[in-house]
Amino acid sequence: MENELLQEDAQIVVLILIAISVLLLMAVALVVFFFFSRKKIIATELEKKDLTISYQKELLHATIETQEEERKRIAQDLHDAISAKLNVVSLSTNVLIDGRLNHKEKEQTLQHILAVTTNTLESSRRLAHNLLPPILENFGLQAAIEELCDEFMNSKSVTIDCTIAYSNILSKSNELHIFRIIQELLNNSIRHGEAEHITILLENNDAQVDLKYMDQGKGFDTGSIDIKKGIGLRNIESRVEMLNGELIYTSEIGKGATFTINIDSVNRNDI
């Protein structure tokens, strides 16, 4: 009887030890699981942060490159349209000051100075218009986009269907971003896509501004464009990022391109 009790006690002790061992193994397994899970979560978060930093660096580089290209263009325009003409005015004025011209030659020189000055003023107005379209400042985004479309259609090489239902809920600086985005898209469609028909739809509600742009041009391979983007597309992406917006584009070779831009009008950046 005593042996049976000892055997039962031994079995109970063995079961308790086994249970404790199982519990210890489970505890160790849980610790290891949580350790590696946490490690994986941290690694994933670090990877996301690295991707975010990499994207921000790429965006900053694209923005700087875009600004540099814009500065070069402005500098070239200033040189070609204004500096060179002012040099002509200066030379002609010096000739008049010398007093070696007869009456007829003086009249011709004055007429020449007047013509060059008038041309320079027109060039400076055009340059200022390119920097900040007066119609955008004075009459709003809808009028500016309609004028832009008319300018492109005057070439007789493209037709543009432009539908705008926009109620001026963005700041002027952000409206300028949208104007430049559409301008860049039109340039790309005609210059690279050789599009003959383009559709633009801009609308908004109280919370969001939506821009949809479609052309029937040559299209492009979205796979390769993601690897090597031109300055035009990077410029568009930079401006959408400044607007805290979302850009989605789809295209196929020979089937045109579609760009959809959604801007949260509540959480936008007023840059």
Same domain assignment for residues 1 and 127: yes
pLDDT at 181: 93
Interatomic CA distance for residues 265 and 205, integer angstroms: 9
pLDDT at 112: 83
Same domain assignment for residues 196 and 101: no
**pLDDT tens, residue by residue, 96-116:** 787 777 878 878 888 888 888
Same domain assignment for residues 148 and 45: no
Same domain assignment for residues 156 and 126: no
Q: Which residues contact 219 (CB under 8 A, 6 or more apart)?
A: 193, 251, 252, 253, 254, 255, 256, 257
Residue 30 burial class via C-beta count within 10 angstroms: exposed 0-12, middle 13-18, buried 19 and up: exposed
Choose the final residue of a domain: 131, 149, 171. Answer: 131
Same domain assignment for residues 79 and 194: no
Same domain assignment for residues 105 and 165: no
Domain hosting residue 1, numbered range: 1-131
Choose the final residue of a domain: 131, 158, 188. Answer: 131
Choose the final residue of a domain: 92, 111, 131. Answer: 131
Highest mean pLDDT among 17-31, 96-110, 237-251: 237-251
Same domain assignment for residues 155 and 66: no
Same domain assignment for residues 230 and 162: yes
Same domain assignment for residues 91 and 108: yes
Same domain assignment for residues 78 and 148: no
List Cβ<8 Å contacts ≥24 apart for 225-228.
225/251
**271 domain residue, yes or no:** no
Indicate if the pLDDT at residue 245 is higher than 60: yes
Q: Three-state secondary structure along 244-258?
A: CEEEEEEECCCCCEE
Same domain assignment for residues 174 and 216: yes
Annotate 156-179 with b (16+ C-beta within 10 A) or e (fewer): eebebebebebeebbeeebbbbbb
Same domain assignment for residues 32 and 112: yes
**pLDDT tens, residue by residue, 188-238:** 898 888 888 999 999 998 889 999 999 998 888 877 755 456 667 888 888
